[in-house]
Amino acid sequence: MRYSLHPEAREDLWEAAQFYQANASNELVQALFAEFERSVNLLLQYPALGSLWRSGRRRLLMRRFPYSLIYRIVGEEIRVLAVAHHSRRPGYWRGRK
């Protein structure tokens, strides 16, 4: 199993990191990246771990941060479509494939 990160999902993660950099600390930015990596590694081991959610997509809540990984399983690949904040711009990622 492998994963790919949609270019706009990469941008989502970058925007979250910039927010924490501007409003908190480098340590929190590093914790965000570590939690993202932990979540992706969990999905690589257990692809169906995230709850089934909207149009065949799945959602895995990140543990320490108010973000979810929105993803699809396509063959042997996990496609991370969004790193979505729980309350900002709901559903903005729906057009991503």
Q: pLDDT by residue (tens digit) across 15-66?
A: 999 999 999 899 999 999 999 999 999 999 999 999 997 778 999 999 999 9
The total of structural domains in the chain comes to 1
Q: Is 70 exceeded by the pLDDT of residue 93? A: no
Q: Is 70 exceeded by the pLDDT of residue 72? A: yes
Residue 95 inside a domain? The answer is no
Residue 65 inside a domain? The answer is yes
Domain that holds residue 41: 2-85
Residue 97 inside a domain? The answer is no
CB 55 within 8 A of CB 78: no
Q: How confident is the model at residue 90 (pLDDT cuts 50, 70, 90)?
A: low
The model carries a pTM of 0.89
Q: How confident is the model at residue 87 (pLDDT cuts 50, 70, 90)?
A: confident
User: Any idea what the CATH number is for the domain that residue 36 is in?
Assistant: 3.30.2310.20
